[in-house]
């Protein structure tokens, strides 16, 4: 009777968990991210899913502002898709740039680390900024990509980066943000 009972519970768990997954990644993005997505800036394929870099419109009293957020949509066409991200956003006023840094982790049934995806994402505010660089654990800065989307500029990097700096056209540092490694 014990084996039958465990089998029934296992089947029930599989059915409940599969009911939480969406058929497509697009459905998971649309329905499983808890914030209103104002603009998807970039969609990056990663192991077991996608990182979705987006802006969300938030309110503070009567004021509205755009905040930065990243979602990790995990799954496959076979098993379905779900938002495995942390579901928070970041915003602060800056004349130069805005930084969002996070590490997305998932664990398997045993509690063992399954996925670890460190990421930085930001918005370039100052038009004089021509280059954004990110520092890794060794403290050395590496140039990262700047994306343009609807007349706005954003940057992102996947990797163990916590600090970024902005450079003007002559290579002079204009701003530095994040945690020094």
pTM > 0.85: yes or no: no
CA distances from 11 to 4, 7, 14, 15 (A): 11, 6, 5, 6
End-to-end CA distance of the chain: 56
One pLDDT digit (tens) per residue for the chain, 181 residues: 555 555 545 444 444 444 468 998 889 988 988 888 999 999 999 989 999 999 999 988 888 888 999 999 999 989 999 999 878 888 878 899 999 999 999 898 899 999 999 999 999 999 999 999 999 999 999 999 999 999 999 999 999 998 999 999 999 999 999 887 6
Partners of residue 132 on adjacent β-strands: 144, 166
CA distance 23 to 19: 10
Conformation bin of residue 171: beta by default, left when phi > 0, alpha when psi is -120 to 50 = left
CA distance 13 to 110: 15
């Amino acid at each position: 009777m014990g084996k039958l009972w465990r089998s029934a519970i296992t089947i029930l768990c599989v059915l409940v968990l599969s009911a939480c997954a969406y058929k497509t990644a697009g459905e998971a993005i649309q329905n499983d991210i808890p914030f209103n997505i104002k603009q998807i800036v970039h969609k990056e394929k990663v192991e077991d899913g996608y990182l979705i870099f987006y802006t969300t419109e938030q309110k503070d009293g009567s004021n509205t502002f755009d905040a930065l957020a990243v979602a990790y949509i995990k799954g496959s066409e076979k098993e379905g898709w779900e938002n495995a991200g942390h579901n928070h956003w970041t915003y602060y006023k800056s004349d130069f740039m805005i930084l969002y840094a996070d590490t997305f982790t998932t664990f398997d049934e045993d509690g063992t680390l399954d996925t670890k995806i460190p990421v930085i994402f930001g918005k370039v505010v100052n038009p004089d900024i021509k280059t954004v660089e990110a520092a890794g654990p060794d403290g050395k800065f590496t140039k990262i990509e700047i994306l343009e989307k609807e007349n706005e500029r954003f940057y992102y990097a996947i990797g163990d980066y916590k600090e970024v700096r902005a450079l003007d056209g002559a290579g002079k540092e204009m701003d530095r943000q994040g945690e020094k490694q």
